[in-house]
Amino acid sequence: MSGHSKWSSIKHKKSRTDAQRGKIFTRLIKELTVAARTGGGDESANPRLRAAIAAAKAGNMPQANIEKAIQRGTGELPGVTYEDMTYEGYGPGGAALMIRTLTDNKNRTVAEVRHLFGKYNGNLGESGSVSWIFDKKGVIQVNAEGLTEDDVFLVALEAGADDIKNDGHVFEIFTPPEKLDETKKALEEAGFGVVMAESTMHPQNFVTLEGKQAEQMLKLMDALDEHDDVQDVFSNFDIDERIMEELEQG
């Protein structure tokens, strides 16, 4: 189990509960609002807003909620002003972490993020302390059932993808950030079941965790994921599937 994309799969399973669904909607609304505020309400001219709308639709957010969030961002409706803040640090075993937040009180958020790092044997670092480990990528997950890697790779490669991996359940296609939308569209037009498409920070290397460190890392990721201000968490940890299953079983 490695990094952000597998953690996204865990979050997808958790999102079935009403409480988690509410948190996901809150994050989506914040992203829509900030995207509209920083780049305008026209999705055709605002790639961040276009991605936020796609994520909101994938999360089954009602169209009325999407429109209201955009209108708050453009100033047509009153709303809270959020700041886009990224925090960096090291978790248990030296695994790197990048945490992207949208907050209306950055002093509160940094204090709470620092507390979570300390609680689970990590350290909040300075800006730039781990960002060099990550490359900005687009990642698309396609349902692997009934497909071969060649089927998917040929379509993805022609659309601009530069790598593909198979974890047994989904194919993960990695693209340059500017090719994400184009590649996703090509895969959908080819009839493939796109499970997820988003921009991510992909690690250049991984840190393998076992035992107590693996347990603490998962608890830290879970705590960050539960935090109301946290939008995304990227990491380069790697945990063996067997160990992961043991931890899940308690």
User: Tell me, what amino acid is at 80?
Assistant: V
Q: Which of 129, 115, 95 is nearest to 205 (CA)?
A: 95
Q: Which of 55, 70, 63, 64 is nearest to 24 (CA)?
A: 55
Backbone angles phi, psi at 56, to 5 degrees: -65, -40
Residue 99, token pair as written in the block: 């945490």
Q: How far apart are CA 101 and CA 219, in angstroms?
A: 19
Residue 58, token pair as written in the block: 């994938």
Q: How far apart are CA 206 and CA 35, in angstroms?
A: 31
Counting residues of the chain whose pLDDT is more than 70, the rounded percentage is: 88
Architecture of the domain defined by 83-132+206-249: 2-Layer Sandwich (3.30)
Backbone angles phi, psi at 89, to 5 degrees: 180, -170
CATH pick for 133-203 out of 3.30.70.980, 2.70.98.10, 2.60.40.2470, 3.30.360.10: 3.30.70.980
Architecture of the domain defined by 3-74: Orthogonal Bundle (1.10)
pLDDT at position 1 over 60: no
Where helices occur in the chain by DSSP H, the ranges are 3-14, 18-39, 47-58, 63-74, 106-119, 149-159, 180-189, 211-226, 241-249
83-132+206-249 matches 133-203 in fold: yes
Map out the domains of the chain as residue ranges.
3-74, 83-132+206-249, 133-203
Q: How far apart are CA 164 and CA 72, in angstroms?
A: 38
Residue 57, token pair as written in the block: 């639709």
Q: How far apart are CA 69 and CA 26, in angstroms?
A: 10
Kindly report, residue by residue over 191-233, the tens digit of the pLDDT. 888 888 888 898 999 999 988 999 899 899 989 988 989 998 9
Confidence band, pLDDT 50/70/90 cuts, at residue 94: very high
pLDDT at position 6 over 90: no
Confidence band, pLDDT 50/70/90 cuts, at residue 12: very low
Q: How far apart are CA 55 and CA 42, in angstroms?
A: 16
Q: How far apart are CA 125 and CA 91, in angstroms?
A: 10
Q: What is the DSSP string of 144-178?
A: -TT--HHHHHHHHHHHT--EEEE-SSEEEEEE-GG
Kindly report, residue by residue over 145-196, the tens digit of the pLDDT. 888 888 888 888 888 888 888 877 888 899 988 888 888 889 989 888 888 8
Please tell me the pTM assigned to this model: 0.78
